[in-house]
Amino acid sequence: MTVGLNVPRSVQWTGQSIILLDQTKLPLEVYYKELKTVTEVWNSIVALEVRGAPAIGITAAFGLVLAAQAAKAEEIEEFFQSFNTAKSYLASSRPTAVNLFWALNRVTAAMQGALSVGEAIALAEAEAIAIQQEDEEVCRAIGEHALTLFNDGDAVLTICNAGSIATARYGTALAPFYVAKEKGLNIKVYASETRPVLQGARLTAWELQQAEVDVTLITDNMAASTIASKSITAIIVGADRIVANGDTANKVGTFGLAILAKHFEIPFYVAAPLSTFDVSLQTGADIVIEERSAEEVTHMQGVRTAPEGIAVYNPAFDVTPHHLITGIITEKGIIRGDFEVEIKHLFL
């Protein structure tokens, strides 16, 4: 049985709309909403109704198809003017996950050379569908490669949600746990709750529980004592953007876990598809880190937990320097050592 498949897809294309699993409602409600316009797609990405680098890219790709279908232009030039406006709008939703831009550019590239509006729309839709289908295969491959790093009975710590609902299926950091379950192996997962949006508590805990994977929830400040007291053997995380030297942007809190891994002398792995690499940037200092609203920090489920008017710093991501990363697991295998050389070879 392919474990994890009982976890619902977060994004489904109907041919004229997107059926989205609204991740802000989880774990209390499995609620789907239908997106029919580019504006609705933009709002869902910004509001984290869909989140997770690959899932954002897939959703944005179908958002472009909605834009193409709505363009209603007779002339191809007028069509692409309208289309490119929609592409720029979708690109403005969130700045850090490179998958968003990779998917928008890939759909656009697929349409080049279209001789009619109808042909352009068909090419856009075919490419968006291909992106989603490929991502599922890619994540499965990441899971297979990642599983070679773990043994039955290991205890592994992760942060945020780099799971099935953050991708087309399986996830990246969580993929090895699904594959392990399929193979009858039991890896004990410790999921860090991941303040302030609680992707770990709300999404990873829920996802792995649905798949009957052994998962224990901890708060973020328990990481160090959990590694020490629960004999954590490794840490595995997802990524939003990996640059040419291997520096990696991921959910805020990841950098701290990498430092803990160094202290405890346990491996720290990043799991990500090639679509999460951005070799146009040389180091992590070049990555734009999204800063989100103060309310995400000062409120919990709408209830204020901090004083009115308090200053808030709310970066959604941080950057882990490559020297703290043991290996990067992609669909092509595991890269280690001189990441700059290894990454260059990945994109030759």
Ligand X SMILES: CSC[C@H]1O[C@H](OP(=O)(O)O)[C@H](O)[C@@H]1O
Residues annotated within the binding site are 51-53, 94, 199, 250-251
* Helix ranges, 2-115 (H): 38-46, 53-71, 76-91, 98-111
Using CB under 6 A, which residues numbered 48 to 87 contact ligand X?
51-54
Active site annotation includes 240: yes
Residue 87 or 251 with smaller CB distance to ligand X: 251
> What does the DSSP 8-state code read for residue 51?
-
Q: Give the nearer residue to ligand X in terms of CB position, either 160 or 261.
A: 160
By CB under 6 A, is residue 253 in contact with ligand X?
no
Q: Which of 316, 324, 325, 329 binds ligand X (CB under 6 A)?
A: 316
CB atoms within 10 A of CB 72: 10
Measured from the CB atom, the residue of 68 and 142 that comes closer to ligand X is 142
Q: How far apart are CA 94 and CA 164, in angstroms?
A: 20
What residue ranges in the chain does DSSP mark as E strands? Answer: 11-13, 18-21, 32-35, 155-159, 188-192, 215-218, 234-237, 241-243, 248-251, 268-271, 277-278, 299-300, 303-304, 317-320, 327-330, 333-335
Q: Using alpha carbons, list the distances in angstroms from residue 24 to 5, 31, 32, 165, 173.
A: 21, 9, 11, 12, 20
Site string for ligand X, 192-231 (x = CB under 6 A): -------x--------------------------------
Q: Is 10 in the site for ligand X (CB under 6 A)?
A: no
Least spacing, CB of residue 5 vs ligand X, in Å: 17
Q: Which of 59, 250, 320, 330 binds ligand X (CB under 6 A)?
A: 250
The minimum distance between CB 123 and ligand X, in angstroms, equals 27
DSSP assignment of 236-273: EE--SEEETTS-EEEETTHHHHHHHHHHHT--EEEE--
Binding to ligand X in span 26-55, by CB under 6 A:
51-54
Structure-token pair, residue 191: 């999921």
Q: Minimum CB separation from ligand X for residue 263, in Å?
A: 22
In the bound state with ligand X, the residue whose beta carbon lies nearer, of 124 and 248, is 248
User: Which single residue brings its beta carbon nearest to ligand X?
Assistant: 238
The residue ranges that bind ligand X (CB under 6 A) are 51-54, 160, 162, 166-167, 171-172, 199, 237-240, 250-251, 316
Which residues are catalytic, by number?
A: 240
